[in-house]
Structure 1
Amino acid sequence: MKILTTIEELQEVRKEISSSVGFIPTMGALHDGHISLIKKARAENDIVIVSIFVNPTQFLPGEDLDKYPRRDEADKKICQMCKVDYLFMPKITTMYEKEEVLIKAPNRSYVLEGETRPGHFDGVLQVVLKLFNLVKPTNAYFGKKDAQQLSLIIQMVKNLFLDINIIACDIVRESDGLAMSSRNVYLTPEQRSEALKISKSLRKAGELVGKKQLNVETIKATMKEVMSGLDIEYIAVVNRNFEELTQVELSNTIILVVARFGNTRLLDNLWL
């Protein structure tokens, strides 16, 4: 595995690659969820490139940019064990100049995650587009846990005519059902135990749909009962375009949950 830190190094490497490239953009603090993306990319491509970059433009004032977990040495070892070919680890000054051409996310980026974090998805799309232009991947791999982000990246690729396949990958969970997240390290033992109510509520929602209960308000009410005692930021039932539904549409529905545990926000969802 070769570690690259500059634009010039990455561009030089990319010129020499004529076969398929699988790309996994990350913010580091790699866990089994990331590893599953890397393994899938390794199985489906000749060359695998991973980036680690904690992107400042997607953090709002007062968010956890400075506290975001950074484990560079451990991440390097994980990438090496997963047979990554190239690891791109740029500095902020490498990726951004003082004055930038900006990317504007569409209006639907201001619901759900974007409602409480206005401008967050502008920053996400900005850095992903930069990375896509540098890496020029054949396939790029993203987890379904960040469902709204995934949907907007798919739209960006379509709207800007990028020749990239976006591969959506299922959520990877701990053995007890908690969705893998770099922010799980912030949880106290008590909070972590309580956080299991999130995945339990989604399993219950899935059971209801399996029994042909498709009414959204009924499903939400049941989920709230399961998550009793939690600080629920939102429960949303939307279609793939993130439009609210009153009835579940099979093969076109995502149930999303965000709950807070102190200063930590946990996301989870169920695709139906």
Structure 2
Amino acid sequence: MRISLREKTLSYIVLTAFAAIALVPLLGVILQAVTPSGSGSGFVIPDSVALQNFAEAWERGHFSRYMLSSILVTVAVVVLSTVLSVLAGFAFARLKFFGSKVIFFVLLAGLLLPAEAFIIPLYFNLRSAHVTDSYWALILPQTAQSLAFGIFWMRNQFLSFPGEVIEAARIDGATDLRTLWQVVVPPSAPSIMTMCLLVTMWTWNEFLMPLVMVTRDELRTAPLGLAFFQGQHLTDYSLLAAAGIIVALPIVVLYFFLQRQFISGMLNGISSR
């Protein structure tokens, strides 16, 4: 189907408008971050570029400690979520066992529950298990939160995988576990990469769980550290903008390098059956 020049022009206008809506606030934050401290706020081009704002925000906000905590928690959550989601997704998609459909729909209920609904009972449960105020109090709940989406995502991916290939591997004597890791997982890499990127973004940006579960300063993650930094520098907009960019930059860089795999997984990784 050919698209007329009028339709193409209208599409470009609409896309340009939405791109401007997304980019203009970001540009304002970047300009504010390089504006000399104490110059006020507003969408203006600064007379001089103050890159020292980033170094000052990094030092004052102790972001080296917070970023290390965020990296540790995020990597642990992504690894655990990926391994468990791949295993469970394959089981629900290709293995027949009693109650599989019921268990799957119970797991999907996790997508419907916001963290605010269970954060208080979860805190008391973890406190009774002597897990609070540790990295495990951040890793385990966020892994459980990610599993509902991860299992749903990988199940649909494995349902769309050619069944003839799996049967051929089984005829050749491959076990289910070997079939999964050597036959099914490699072609599913774009979908797995997309899931990992989404879980990374959600875990990195998580604020409520670290706020409730940890009190020690060395365990705080970057978004939580940014909130405390904001409270200490409420009127220093340049430092706040610089700190915000510092916290957001790792996810932006990660997406920049993995955008092709992410888009490929979004377009081709999920299909319905």
Instruction: Specify the structure having the higher radius of gyration (Cα).
Output: 2
Between structures 1 and 2, the one with greater helix share: 2
- Which has the bigger relative contact order, CA under 8 A and spacing at least 6? 2
